[in-house]
Chains A and B, each alone.
Chain A
Amino acid sequence: MRLRFGSAILDTGARVLIPFILIFGLYVLFHGHDSPGGGFQAGVILATAWILLRLVRGNDPGWGPEARGALVMAISGVAIYAGTGFGALAFGGAFLDYAAFPLPLPPAGTRAAATFVVESGVGLAVAGVMLIIYEALIAPES
C-alpha cells in the first residue's frame, strides 16, 4: 500500500506528469546546442521528476534512484566530464580540447559530439546532486 502519504489523485497526477517531465529533460539535454538549455538545466528537470514522486509517495516511492544511487550518479557525472578532459590530453590535445578525439567526423562534429558527452555528464551530476540535497533536507536530525 503506497498511498498512505499522498492520495489517489496526487499519485495519478504524478504518474501522468513524470513521463513528460523526463522527456522534456532529455529534450533540453539534446537540444542544448541550438536552443536555451543544456546539461545543467536537463539535470534539474530530470531530478524534479524523481523529487515529485518522493513528494507524492513519501519515503518509499517504488521507482527512481536511492540515496546511494544518487551519489553514484553525481560522481559518475563529474567523472565523465573530467574523463573527457583527460582523454583529450591523452590524444595529444590540450585539456578539454574536444577536437582532439579521433572520431570519423569533421572537427566541428567532433567538438559537438564531445560537448554532448560532457553535457550528459553535467546532467547526471546535477540530477544526482539535486537528489542528494533533497535527501539531506528530509533526513532526520542526527
Chain B
Amino acid sequence: MNALPVLIVATPLAAALVPPLLALASVRAAKAWSLAAQALCLALSIAALRAVLAGGPLRHALGGWPAPWGIECVLDAFSAALAVLVAGLAVLTTVYAWDWEDRRGPVREGAFQSLFLLLLAGLLGMLAAGDLFNLYVFLEIASLSSYALVAAGPGREAPLAAFRYLILGGAGATFWVLGLGYLYALTGTLNMADLSSRWPAISASPAAAAGLGLMVAGLALKMPVFPLHGWQPGAYAASPPQLMPFIASAGSKVMAYAIFRLLAGTLGSEGQAGRVLEALAPVGLLSVAAGSMLALTQTDVRRMLAYSSVAQLGLLFVGFSLGGRWAVIGVFWHMLAHAVLKSCLFMAAGSVARRRGSCEIDDFAGLGRTAPLTAFCFASAGLALIGLPPAAGFFGKWYLLRGALDAGAWVSLSVVAASGLMTALYVFRLLERMYLAPPPESKRVEPMGPWGAAPMLALAVAAILLGVFNQPLIAAFIEPARLAATGGRG
C-alpha cells in the first residue's frame, strides 16, 4: 500500500498547525515553514505522479479498512497531474508573496499562513478523495479557508465580498450534499469505484438525474460559471492581492476536475450522466459569451480578469460535453494553460496594485516604461490567453476546435473560435494603455523585489514554453490523464 495519496493531503493539514505559534516568535519563520511545507507537498505530488505513470493508480485505505466500507485515498494520472499543478502554483504564490509587507501583526499573519496551507490541503484532498462524501469534506475545508482568506483582504469591501462568497458557497456545498443523498439512496454507496459498478443498474433513473444535476450545480457555483458567478468578481477584487494567483487559478480547476471525475470518470457518461454532460454545453457557451462581454465593461483589472475566468471556465464545460478524444485533451490542456496564465496575470495585476494602491485600467498607463518587467509578463500571459500561437493558450483552443469539428458541433465551434476574439478585445485595451499611453505623474514607484519578480517571470516564460513543447507534454501527461479520467472508455 502506497502512502503517497494520503501524505500529500496530511502534510499540509498537519503543517497548518504550526504557523500560528511560529508567527508569535517570528513572522518570517512562519512564512518559511509554510513555504517548506508546500515544497514538500510539491515533491510528494511529483513522486506520486511518477509512480502513477509507471505503475497505475495509487490507493491507500485509511486505518487499514478496505473500500468500499472504509475511506480510501486514490491518485490516478488525472488527479496526480492536477496535484502537481496545484502544489506548484501554491509554491510560486508563496514565493511571490514572500516580501509582501504586512501590517496585520503576528497573530493574523500566522493564521493567514495556516489558512493558506488548509486551502492547499482541501484542494489536494478533493483530488485524492476516493469517495464522494470525503470530496465534500475537503471541498468545505478548501471553501472555508478561502472565505477567511478573502475576508483578510486589505480594503473595506473585503468582509462584505467574503460574506457574499460564504452565503453562495454554502449554498453550493449544500447542493452537492443534497445531490449526493439521491445517489446514496439509489446505490447505497459513496465510494467512487463502487458507485461506478452499481451505476448501470440505475443510470436511467430520474432521481439520479436530479441528484447529478444538484451536484453539478453546486460545483458550478464554486467554479464559477455564468450565471452562478455572482460572488466571484467581488471576492477576487477584494481578497489579498498576493494570494490571488493561487485562489484564482487552482480552485476552479479542482472544481472542474470533480465534475468531470463524477460524470465521465465514475459514471462513464452513461444514462443520465451523459444527459447532464450534454446539458453542460449551453451553460458553457453562455458562460463564454457573458463572461467575455462583462469583462469588457470592467474598469478594475482584477474584476476584468475575474470575468475573463468565467469565460475561460465556460470553455471547460463546452469541452466536457463534447467529450471526444480531442475535446478532452483540449480541455485538460486548457485547464493547465489557464491556471498558468491566470496566475501570471494576477501576479502582474497584484504588483500594480501594490505599487499604486489600486488596480484600475488607468493604473496600467505607461507601465511599459515605468515597470517593464511587469508589463512584459502581463503582455505575454495576456497574448497567450487570447490564444496567439505558439503560446500555451492557443493549443487548448486548437484541440477544442478539433474536438468540436469531430463532433460536428457547429455552435460550439464558432463560440470557441469567437472566444479568442473577445479575449483579444479586453486584453488589447490594456496593452494599449501599458505601451502607448504616457505614464501618469508618478505617485510612488517602488521596484519589485526578486521574490515577486521571479515567479511571475517564470510563469510568463512557461506560458510560451508550454505551447512550444505541447506535443511531448500531451503525450507524457495529458493523454494518460485522459485515459484515467474517462476510464479508458473515451
Contacts and interface: CB of A to CB of B under 8 A. Distances in A.
Interface residues of A, number: 20
B17 A95 contact: no
Contacts of B61: 94
B21 A82 contact: no
A97 B14 contact: no
A93 B6 CA distance: 13
Interface string A11-27: 00000000000000000
Nearest to A78: B17
A94 B60 contact: yes
20 contacts: A75-B18, A79-B17, A82-B13, A82-B14, A88-B63, A89-B3, A89-B6, A89-B7, A94-B1, A94-B6, A94-B61, A94-B63, A94-B64, A95-B6, A95-B10, A95-B60, A96-B63, A97-B64, A98-B63, A100-B64
A58 to B, nearest CB: 22
A88 B3 CA distance: 11
B47 interface: no
Interface in B49-69: 60-64
B62 A94 contact: yes
B20 interface: yes
A78 B1 CA distance: 25
Given A72-B21, A75-B17, A82 B10 contact: yes
Nearest to B111: A71
A85 B10 contact: yes
A88 B10 CA distance: 13
Interface residues of B, number: 18
Given A89-B3, A94-B62, A99-B64, A75 B14 contact: no
Contact of B20 (A75, A85, A94, A96): A75
Contacts of A72: 21
A113 to B, nearest CB: 15
Contacts of B21: 71-72, 75
A95 B63 contact: yes
A116 interface: no
Q: Is the interface of B mostly helix, strand, loop or mixed?
A: helix
Interface in A39-68: 68
Contacts of B62: 94-97
Given A68-B24, A78-B17, A79-B17, 10 more contacts: A82-B10, A82-B14, A89-B6, A93-B64, A94-B62, A94-B63, A94-B64, A95-B60, A96-B63, A100-B64
Interface string B1-36: 101001100100110011011001000000000000
A30 interface: no
Contacts of A99: 64
Given A94-B62, A98-B63, A79 B10 contact: no
B14 A79 contact: yes
B20 A86 contact: no
A85 B62 CA distance: 9
Contacts of B1: 94
A82 B11 CA distance: 9
A98 B20 CA distance: 29
Interface in B172-206: none
Nearest to B110: A71
Contacts of A86: 10, 14
Contacts of B10: 82, 85-86, 95
A95 B3 contact: yes
Contacts of B24: 68
Nearest to B16: A78
Of the candidates B6, B13, B17, B20, the one having the most CB atoms from chain A within 10 angstroms of its own CB is B17
A46 to B, nearest CB: 20
B173 to A, nearest CB: 20
A89 B17 CA distance: 19
A4 B21 CA distance: 34
A72 B107 CA distance: 12
Given A79-B14, A82-B13, A71 B20 contact: yes
Contacts of A82: 10, 13-14, 17
Contacts of B64: 93-94, 97, 99-100
Nearest to B71: A96
Interface in B243-278: none
Contacts of B7: 89, 95
Interface in B119-171: none
A28 B470 CA distance: 59
Contacts of B13: 82
B40 to A, nearest CB: 13
A105 B302 CA distance: 60
Contacts of A85: 10
Nearest to B72: A94
B244 to A, nearest CB: 24
- Which 5 residue pairs spanning A and B have beta carbons closest together? A97-B64, A82-B14, A95-B6, A94-B64, A96-B63
Contacts of A94: 1, 3, 6, 60-64
A72 B21 CA distance: 8
A86 B6 CA distance: 10
A85 B73 CA distance: 14
A68 B23 CA distance: 12
A95 B1 CA distance: 10
A139 to B, nearest CB: 11
Of the candidates B6, B24, B60, the one having the most CB atoms from chain A within 10 angstroms of its own CB is B6
A92 B225 CA distance: 45
A86 B14 CA distance: 10
